[in-house]
Structure 1
Amino acid sequence: MTWPQLWFGLAGGSFLASCALGLGVALRWFSTAGFRWVHHAMFAVTCLLAAVAASSLLWSTSPAGWFLLPAAVPLAALPAVGSSSVARHATLASAAAPFFLVSVLVAWR
């Protein structure tokens, strides 16, 4: 396993976990009312891991970072949208998914 594979795998896994938590709360499968900070912390970790993975453009030969860079737009807009409109929040978060998926696939090819 190479360093880019590790970082893109971690970023993709963190994004998936954050989305799963958000989906579970939105569908009322469980509640995070007592600890809402967990989803915010997972989002921050996802952004950090995505930044480290995308920085591989500077320190490796993997082109996967180019495929992840566009995910920064919906990720940066998510805090401004907030969760008052669950549908808008989920749609915006989902817009980043293809970029995470393709970048992980490219890193692992």
Structure 2
Amino acid sequence: MPRPLLLAATASYAANCALGGAVAAHRLDTSGARWVHHAVYVSTVVLTVAAAVQLAVRGDRALWRLAPVAAPLAAIPSVSARTRGHVLLALTAAPAYAAALTAPRGR
């Protein structure tokens, strides 16, 4: 059974990491539009919650692999974006997104 919301959530997460990384590496200047990074973060959270609900309704075991992303997504707004801790915290969600995407289909 396809998992389009999980794929969309993972893509949004990856896009947000890429955007944040580009800004941190001074490859991209978003000083005039800092809201973009925040908007992609909100998109990531909304899509991740929607994916989790869909997985729960289906009884899909990928839900248990996705669950660990809740902690870093909840904590990231409280860590200054100008710190290494922000980057490291954001990256702690990556293994859970990858594990959820690769989870065997079904219950």
- The answer as to 2:95 corresponding to 1:92 is no
TM-score in terms of structure 2 length: 0.92
Structure 1: distance between partners of 2:67 and 2:13: 14
The Cα of 1:84 is off from its aligned counterpart by 3.0
**What residue is the counterpart of 2:9 in the other structure?**
11
Q: Distance in 1 between matches of 2:60 and 2:34?
A: 36
Map 1:1-109 → 2, pairs under 5 A: 2=2, 5-85=3-83, 87-106=84-103
Change (3 A) 1:108 1:42: farther
Query: What is the aligned length?
Result: 106
Moved more, 98-107 or 34-43: 98-107
Percent of residue pairs identical: 38
Q: Is 53-62 or 18-27 further displaced after alignment?
A: 53-62
Query: Do 1:8 and 1:50's aligned partners in 2 also have CA atoms closer than 8 Å?
Result: yes
What stretches of structure 1 move > 2 A for 4+ residues in a row?
Answer: none
CA–CA distance in structure 1, aligned partners of residues 18 and 51 of structure 2: 21
Q: Which region of structure 1 is more displaced relative to structure 2, 40-49 or 60-69? A: 60-69
Letter in 2 for 1:100: Y
CA RMSD, Structure 1 to Structure 2 (Å): 1.6
Distance between the aligned counterparts of 2:101 and 2:62, measured in 1?
7
Paired with 1:48 and 1:63, the residues of 2 have a C-alpha distance of 20
Give the TM-score normalised by structure 1. Answer: 0.90
Q: Point out where structure 1 has 5 or more consecutive residues left out of the alignment.
A: none
